[in-house]
Structure formats: C-alpha cells, structure tokens
Chain A
Amino acid sequence: MNKRRGDVARWVAWIAIGASTTLLVLPLFVAERMPAAAGLELGARLDDGSWLPIGTDRRGLPFEMVLLGALSASGGFALAGTMGVLLGAALLGVFEANLRARYGQLAVQVLTLGAMAMPDVTLLLTVHASLPRETPKLAFDLIILGVVGALWVPPTSRLIASRVQSLQTSLFFTASRSMGANRWHLFRRELVPHLLEDMGWLLASIFPRFLHVELGLAYIGVEYHFRGVGQLLKSSYENPAANPYMWHLVIASLAAVWLSLLPMLVLRTFGTRGVPSS
C-alpha cells in the first residue's frame, strides 16, 4: 500500500515537473502577443467585448502569457546565478580542503567571514546606483550575478570543503589512494559522486535566494533587461485598488513560490532527500 502510494506520488511529481518545465520554456518560443494576435479569447470582459480569465497587464497583454514569460525569465536568471555559485564554490571548496598553508587557511577564513557579514542588499543597491545611466541593462544583470555570486561563494565553499575533507579521511578514499589512483581519478570517481547529493541540496537552497534577490531589487526600483516576476509583482502592487491587479498580485506570488520550490521537487523526485547528508 505504501509502495503504491509512493508510486502515485512519484507520477504526480513527474507530471508536475514536466508541465512546469514546458510552461517555463514555452515563452522562449512563443511571443507574448501571439494569443491576442491569434484571436484567442479567454476570461475577463474587455471594452471590445472579449473575455480574459484574469484580465491583462498594464500594457494590455493577456496576463497568463505575461506571467509565464516573467517566470521563465526569472527562472533563467536564478538558474544562471545558481550554477555560477555552485561552480565557484566547488572549485574554492576543493582548493580549501587541500590547503595546508596556515596563512592560506587564515586568508580563506577571513574572506568567508567578510562575505558572510556583508549586507548584500545594501551593496547591490549601491552598485546599481553608481552605474552610469547609459549602462546596458544586460550588463547590470551580469554585474548583479557577479556581486551576489562573489558574496555567496565563500560561505558555500565552506560546506563543500568540510564535506571533501570528511570524504578524504574515509576508508574507501584511503584505499583507492593506496592502490595508486591519481588525483584526477580520485576526484572523478571518489569525490564527485559523493558531492552530487550535497550539490543538489545547495542548488535547491541557492536557487530561491537568487529569486529573492531579483524580487527584492525589482521591488525597490531596479530595472533588469528582462521582465521578471519582480517587476510583475511591483507593477501589480502599485495599483492596489485597481481590479484585477490585486488578483494578479495573488497569482504571481503563488507562481513565484511554485518556481522557488521546483528545484526541490525535482531533487526529491529523482531520489535525493533535499537535505545535506551528514
């Protein structure tokens, strides 16, 4: 009975992941205006008599497509940042785990403490305000990713370094090394498979944080080169009395929560518990 329940849950999760992925990727291939141009009529009544279920945004575009486009853009931004942080943390973590020099270890500790204590929101706002007005928005997006990545890589690398150190003292690692395995073999065969679970957990925890940064900065007034969930929430929030913008705020908030939980759902469905292994 429990096995059948587990199978059903797994199938439901697979369907949810598949549907979510399709909806997130779809806006890359389908322009926002297509449903309107194709004469697709849904939902709330407009002046011309047409009906859209939850109205249009302030530009007159169907909200459903605007929401999907925003989720896709924000998801891509968060994913790019997350992969950058993981890559940087993995490299720094492996380096830190094998660092023997006392001053080197001290330098890494100081760097990590400094990064952990830095108020990232204030720093990001300051960087944004200091850029010239003619700075391309794409450049600013990359600067944001770089600054946030630089702040989050050191603390994340601490987790990886401690995991690598514990793996290096394990019996199977010692046995492999004593049998003559070279460094590349040890890294590829002994370390990487055991680090994957932790990296998966880190991905599930860092992805929502990037989303939070994007939402927070958009709310404060930062403009990205893409129209993400942050700007959608902000524009809905600024017109609280106008219906259906308050419903847009509710739906977009729920959609953002779903997006932030998607990596965790993927990890649990593929068998990873989503918590760091001890």
Chain B
Amino acid sequence: MRRHVQQRLARMITVIAALLAAGLVSVFITFYLVSQQPEGMILSPNGAVSDPAPPFGPRLLRWSCTVIGSGFTNWGGSTTAPNVTNLIRERLPVSVQIGLTSWLIGWCGGLLAALLLIRSRRGAQAHLDVVYPVVQAVPPLTVVFFVYAVLMIVAPRAIDRIGMVIGIGILSGLIMPAAAALWLNGLRRVLDQEFVRVARATGIGPVRLWGRHVIPNVLVSSGVLTQAAFSLAGLVVGSIFVERVFSLGGISASFLESIKSGQAELAATAVVVYFTPLAVGVSLAEGLVLFFQPEQEGRGNE
C-alpha cells in the first residue's frame, strides 16, 4: 500500500513538473516572439516613451524579477496599459465569470439531463448516438455568430441588455451535451455493478446510495473529473469569442491587441492567465484520480 502511494506520488510530481516546464516554455516563446515586433516600446517611469525596446534578454529578466519579486502581484507594464495588474483586476473577472458560470451550468445541467435520460433507454441512446456527436462537431463560433445575427434581426436591443446572459447560455448549451453523455455513460456503468444491487437490497435510502456510492464512483471511474477540468480551461479561452462578439468588456481584447502591438509583458501575462486553469485542471484531475480511487473503491464496496 505504501509503495502504491509512493508510485502515485512520483507520477503526480512528474505531471506537475511537465506542466510547469510546458508553461515556462510557452511564456518564454511568447515573450520572445512578441518582443521582436518593431513597434514594441515600453514606458519609462516618468511616463515618456523610451527609445527602442531593450534586447529580449534584459527585458525578460526585468519582467521576471518584477513578477516574482512582487509575489505575482505586479505584472509589469506595457504601452497600451501602463499597469498590467490594474488591467487584469478590472477586466479578468468578466472573463472568469463568463467561463466559470458557463462551466457550472453546463456540468450541473449535464448531470440533470443524464439523470432524466437514464430512465429512458431510447432517449439515452439517441443522445449518445445523435445529439452528442453533432454538438461536438459544431464549431462554437458559428453558433455565437448565428445567435448574434438572429438577435440583430429579431431583437437588436436584447444584445445590449442581456448580452452576457446570452453568451453564457451559448457556452453552457455547447458543453451540456458532452457533459450529459459522460455522466450518462458513467451512471450506466456504475448502476450495473453488483455492489449497487447489494446496497439496494440491504435497504439503504436513495440519497445515501447516490451520495456515498454512485456519484463518487462515477466521478472517479468514468473520466468526468478529467473532462470537467479540461472543459473549464477551454471555456476560459472560448469566452474570448463571446466577449468580442457581444462586446462584454473582458480581458481578451487587450490580450489580443498586446500580441499584435509588441507588448511582450502583457502577452506573457496572457499566456500565464490562460495556461494556469489548464494546468491546474490537468493536475487536479490527475491527482483526484490517483489519490481518491483506492478510497472510493473501498467506499463503493460497503
């Protein structure tokens, strides 16, 4: 058992190390490429535009020291925004709100849909064979454009008033079928197992059965956790298009402008912001599966 835990710990450390390395490489490459832009300029402390930007090496070193030295509270400066930190503080919550809300609604809605579909074999099969593959294949941006175009024709004022709600609705609607399919497969697999029949036969209530045995086993054994982690990261990135189409004021526009205009500090910060949920999600998913699986198997067999 102890050796088992040690092996899993070693694997977890490998995963985290690989993700850290990938993150550092991404930041390095982005900083280098963006800083090569001919119009890249940085502000001097008194606000005046300085001479041509310093070479890449000292510039990266100065930015790294600023970020690490401040404990990741100061992200340096760029031309469009003297203080990247303030820009992030003002606009990042909008992007996170869109991504996180869509994620919660999508996965909770998927679980509810799966609980409804599990009662109907034909409905469940139709969802797995038709609805899920079709929605997976549809490019999300076309759905955003389509809804936007229809609203512009039918109710243009709705875009200004409830643009964020519509955007969150679109993103949630796009991930819900995949979430429902994963939950459905997991529920089917777990409900067919012997320990569930035994648990029912011993007379335990449905709440305890689902809360202590079914849902935990579904979470660990059917890939729901892993896919949920990846979809969170995907939604944070995918909110870029929703923000721009519906003009919601998130941080994506600034990030995209920074890449085009040679503001390496802001671009590197963008990579860190978008990479972090991906890396955290992957680590969390791997960690939960590695460390909770033995416990859940034990609990599931009570």
A residues neighboring B (CB under 8 Å): 106, 109-110, 113-119, 121-123, 125-127, 129-130, 204-205, 207-208, 211-212, 215-216, 219-221, 233, 236-237, 240, 246-247, 249-250, 252-254, 256-257, 260-261, 263-264, 273-275
The interface-forming segment of B200-208, B212-220, B271-279 is: B271-279
Chain B residues within an 8 Å CB radius of A115: 22
Q: How far is the CA of A253 from the CA of B140 in the complex (A)?
A: 10
B237 within 8 A of A: yes
A250 with B146, Cβ < 8 A, contacts A113-B22, A113-B282 known: yes
A204 with B133, Cβ < 8 A, contacts A117-B278, A119-B275, A130-B34 known: yes
- The reply to whether A114 and B137 contact each other, CB–CB distance below 8 Å, is no
Q: How far is the CA of A222 from the CA of B109 in the complex (A)?
A: 35
Chain B residues within an 8 Å CB radius of A237: 145, 148-149, 245
A170, chain B: closest CB distance, angstroms: 22
| Of A118, A233, A257, A275, the contact of B22 (CB 8 Å cutoff) | A118
Chain A residues within an 8 Å CB radius of B227: none
- The reply to whether B145 and A233 contact each other, CB–CB distance below 8 Å, is yes
B70 within 8 A of A: no
The interface-forming segment of B24-32, B42-50, B190-198 is: B24-32
Per-residue 0/1 for B138-168: is the Cβ within 8 Å of any A Cβ (1 yes, 0 no)? 1111110110111011000000000000000
- The reply to whether A215 and B142 contact each other, CB–CB distance below 8 Å, is yes
Give the dominant DSSP class at B's interface: helix
A235, chain B: closest CB distance, angstroms: 12
Chain B residues within an 8 Å CB radius of A264: 133-134, 137
Q: How far is the CA of A116 from the CA of B278 in the complex (A)?
A: 8
Known pairs A113-B19, A247-B149; list 16 more (Cβ under 8 Å).
A106-B14, A113-B22, A117-B279, A119-B237, A119-B274, A125-B259, A129-B34, A207-B137, A212-B140, A216-B141, A237-B145, A250-B153, A254-B146, A257-B146, A260-B138, A275-B128
Q: Which residue of B lies closest to A204 (CB)?
A: B137
Which residue among A121, A211, A252, A253 has the maximum number of chain B CB atoms within 10 Å of its CB? A253
B7 within 8 A of A: no
- The reply to whether A122 and B142 contact each other, CB–CB distance below 8 Å, is no
24 interchain pairs, CB-CB under 8 A? A109-B14, A114-B18, A117-B19, A126-B29, A126-B259, A129-B34, A129-B37, A204-B133, A208-B139, A233-B142, A236-B149, A237-B245, A240-B152, A249-B148, A249-B149, A250-B146, A250-B149, A250-B153, A256-B139, A257-B142, A260-B137, A261-B134, A264-B134, A273-B129
Q: How far is the CA of A109 from the CA of B15 in the complex (A)?
A: 9
B240 within 8 A of A: yes
- The reply to whether B142 and A127 contact each other, CB–CB distance below 8 Å, is no
- The reply to whether A122 and B145 contact each other, CB–CB distance below 8 Å, is no
Chain A residues within an 8 Å CB radius of B255: 122
- The reply to whether B22 and A123 contact each other, CB–CB distance below 8 Å, is no
B residues neighboring A (CB under 8 Å): 14-15, 18-19, 21-23, 25-26, 29-30, 33-34, 36-37, 128-129, 133-134, 136-143, 145-146, 148-150, 152-153, 230, 237, 240-241, 244-245, 255-256, 259-260, 262, 267, 270-271, 274-275, 278-279, 282
Q: How far is the CA of A236 from the CA of B270 in the complex (A)?
A: 29
Chain A residues within an 8 Å CB radius of B274: 119, 122
Q: How far is the CA of A250 from the CA of B259 in the complex (A)?
A: 30
- The reply to whether A117 and B23 contact each other, CB–CB distance below 8 Å, is yes
Q: How far is the CA of A257 from the CA of B141 in the complex (A)?
A: 10
Chain B residues within an 8 Å CB radius of A119: 26, 237, 271, 274-275, 278
A122 with B138, Cβ < 8 A, contacts A113-B22, A117-B19 known: no
- The reply to whether A253 and B149 contact each other, CB–CB distance below 8 Å, is yes
| Of A117, A125, A260, the contact of B275 (CB 8 Å cutoff) | A117
A120, chain B: closest CB distance, angstroms: 8
- The reply to whether A216 and B241 contact each other, CB–CB distance below 8 Å, is yes
- The reply to whether A129 and B259 contact each other, CB–CB distance below 8 Å, is yes
Chain B residues within an 8 Å CB radius of A274: 133
Q: How far is the CA of A246 from the CA of B147 in the complex (A)?
A: 11
Q: How far is the CA of A211 from the CA of B83 in the complex (A)?
A: 36
- The reply to whether B133 and A123 contact each other, CB–CB distance below 8 Å, is no
Which residue among B18, B36, B128, B271 has the maximum number of chain A CB atoms within 10 Å of its CB? B18
- The reply to whether A125 and B256 contact each other, CB–CB distance below 8 Å, is yes
A110 with B139, Cβ < 8 A, contacts A233-B145, A237-B145, A274-B133 known: no
Q: How far is the CA of A32 from the CA of B270 in the complex (A)?
A: 41
- The reply to whether B22 and A114 contact each other, CB–CB distance below 8 Å, is yes
